[in-house]
Structure 1
């Protein structure tokens, strides 16, 4: 599903502002929302109350410059991609813009084709950044801690066990069979696993399976029943129960919520 993007154009020159607006409105033919502001102050207030996917701003404006505007929104909950426009080839402005993570620096007068290509690039970058952020948010923090410690366990029996679990999440895995595969009795394996991993075997396996399920929910359109099978659960009913116990919501609700954030 393609979601409407919001683009905010900021320039104190009405002719430039309206020219860009008309170009983008003609190009997107109502598929995206194009908004304008005549000053940096007005744009800051607008962005404080609603999100935008892309900010196109002139660098030199009275009272509140484009760079001041970009600095002001750095800590906003929802930060847009930014394109800076200028009628001057000023290297110091360009340097500051790069430090602030601006996607591109456009010199006026801006050619129509250059504008459209740069806007498309900026929207794509913003979409990728939101997708990455959404993926980072779904990572189980306990598994992140374990992954960092795992580097010292590569050639140990527990390291081998963790590698096996990673490669066979979609298959039945029992602690006894895993202990046998690394030549340890199950009681000692259980104690050693908890000591070196920080979680007992069953909780670790559950978290790994739910983590893989979250990735599949976000990255694919696979039905819940198929995802359940791919992460080692024989019935989707039991999978949903386990997922809810760990995440607090159902897999379908989770998919909807994360996809909404990243769209």
Structure 2
């Protein structure tokens, strides 16, 4: 009975996830015929769920596209991808493990007590762009979800003075790479429950998201507090990103 209940929960969650991913794909044209999509797999719940969903879509979609995974070993202490390598191999998934020591660079450049996230992210992005070109990828798929999007929106509002979030589809400045975020509509809690039931091999990160005092953690706590008062807060913030009234903002470039 327990196994049956688990299977039903998995089916329900997978259906909800695929619906959100499909809706995002329809709205922003993320996946096109002939695409070769590189999924940036960190080994966390988000990227593992994204890989699973894109492989499912590949089987069901009326168009042909390829999906493969790439993990970047940045030489962080305790990072061990061996279980992930075995998991990919057992499932016959095209997988590339790339070793680049960005950890030493981050430690050298970032003052003690400051967040590593920004520099680490920039270095990782540059490597992913280069690997996508090397491996013939037409798109780079990242595992950001709804909560990441709205947290980034608030971080930019509060700390950078910008109305800026994470777009579902973004072309790099040089036009050589296209980044897609198929799970931009997906709530984090849905991913967490699904990943736990799927028992993905999860790799801990000793740098990102574990340092006390990070601004993102403060924003996450604020959203949790507001959501306890109004369950629609996160959905409303996401909806606001596609419901902009330019005439009621201050940017002259929007008033044309």
Which bracket does the TM-score occupy, shorter chain normalised?
A: under 0.3
Name which structure has the greater RCO, CA cutoff 8 Å, separation 6+. Answer: 2
The structure with more radius of gyration: 1
Q: TM-score if structure 1 supplies the norm length?
A: 0.23
Q: Comparing both structures, which one devotes a greater share of its residues to helix?
A: 1
